[in-house]
Structure formats: structure tokens, C-alpha cells
Amino acid sequence: MSIRSNGEFIVPGQRASVHAFLTDPSRFAPLLPDFKSLEIEDEKSFVVKLRVGVSNIRGTALIRLELCDNQPPEKAVFKGSGKLPGGAAELTAQFDLEDTGSGTKVHWQGEAQIVGKIASIAGGLLEPLAKKNLQRLIDGLQSALSNAPTS
């Protein structure tokens, strides 16, 4: 099962500050819906633990992400994979940043490939839940970036 989404928002901070926030897992990972913990492996790789609950499948997801394309202050791309209760996922998240007269425009896109029992059992519930959680993350990012110091 493939789930894709994209959008954009504007925040008041300078592009370099926004990029620094988006590439610092200790700042953005706690904004992930159902966040449990973060383990930083090195300057590009980290593992997040998230609570997962779809239909009767519940547990913890372990997602390893890597900052695979980092072009400050213009672009950041994360790729990752992980184990979910009843399945696995491959993830990509990309942020492209553009200066505006009032701050920074963040163009974002994400894709998840989910396989296994969770995809077949959760069926039609998985995509709306994933999009709802993605919107919660984007709303959290936008709020955190809008309230961050503008240096």
C-alpha cells in the first residue's frame, strides 16, 4: 500500500533557521504523532519509536531515518524504513525551502510504502489515519516554526 501527500506553508523564520529546525531530530521528532522516544545514531541517522494502533493491531513502530540529501538552507530529504506491528514501512519525506517577503515557504512531500498484515487487515482505515497523523505533524511543525526564535 502506497500513501502520498504534499503541501506547503509559510512561517516567519529565515530559511537557514527553518532548515536547521527541520534537520534536527531532537527538535522535530517529538512533534510526530504518538511519539515515544528518539535515539540519535550519528549526525545523519536516528531511530524513532512511535505508538501504533490501527483496527486490532497495536504496538510500537521502530523507524530508522537518515538525512540522505541535505542542501542547507534549501532542501532536506529523509529516507527510512521500519518495523510496524504486523508489517513494515519504507518512508520518504522531503522539504524544499523558499524565501518569501515575510519568512520561509516550506514545500513538503511524503510517501510511505506499507506492507504486511497491517496493510491487509487495516485496509481502508490505514490511508485516512496516515493522512490525519501527517496533518497533525505538519500542523505541529508549522506551529513550532512559527513560535521559534527568528535568528
Residue 36 is part of a domain; what is its CATH number? Answer: 3.30.530.20
129 vs 43, which has greater pLDDT? 43
52 closest CA partner among 42, 62, 67:
62
Number of structural domains the chain divides into: 1
pLDDT at position 149: 65
Structural domain for 113, as ranges: 2-147
Provide, rounded to the nearest whole percent, the portion of the chain with pLDDT above 70.
96
Which CA distances in Å does 132 have to 32, 33, 90, 145?
12, 10, 18, 20
Q: What pairing do the DSSP bridges indicate for beta strands 103-115 and 87-100?
A: antiparallel
pTM strictly above 0.85: yes
57 vs 137, which has greater pLDDT? 137
pLDDT over threshold 60, residue 45: yes
